[in-house]
Amino acid sequence: MAKNKTTETEYSVIDFINAVPDENKRNDAFELLKIVQETTGFEPKMWGPSIIGFGSYNYKYDSGHEGDAPLAGFSPRKTAMTVYFYLPEKEREELLPKLGRHTSSKACIYIKKLADINIDILKKVILLSIDYTQKLYPQK
């Protein structure tokens, strides 16, 4: 079975953010770091080379594939800040239209600038995502 590439590392979150070339994106990353840490209560850790994760859980699929992943996370990517989340469709449909200017996929929210979004809605998405993930994958 293939080994997960995205695992918790000892790399420095601060060094990673400081290496973001775009000053505005770097500033937004530091602000988002503070927001997610305060919202979750978890210390940030690097997961793989480019994801800042908060907390963790173990998952195991019916296929037998299992691993660990962060409960909440984001990455300051080149084109947008990527926030990782996992919500049922009902909550997605209710919350994402209220978030502000963004795009999204099944498990990611893409934000160009933090100033374009409603931070309170983002916090709600993060907390509901953690709650949903913990219900799907209860830890022993």
pLDDT of residue 62: 84
Could you tell me the mean pLDDT of each successive run of 10 residues in the chain, 140 residues long?
75 98 97 98 97 94 87 96 95 97 96 98 98 90
pLDDT for residue 2 = 55
Q: Is the dihedral of CA 56, 95, 76, 39 positive or negative?
A: negative
Other residues' Cβ atoms within 10 Å of the Cβ of residue 125: 25
- The pLDDT score that the predictor gives to residue 65 is 82
Q: What is the DSSP letter of 48?
A: T
pLDDT of res. 54: 98
Residues 6+ positions from 58 with CB-CB distance below 8 Å = 66, 67, 68, 137, 139
Give the pTM.
Answer: 0.93
8 Å CB contact between 122 and 106: no
* Domain boundaries of the chain, sorted by first residue: 8-136
CA 11 from centroid of its chain's CA atoms: 17
Q: Does 8-136 carry CATH code 3.90.1150.200? A: yes
- pLDDT the model gives residue 139: 81
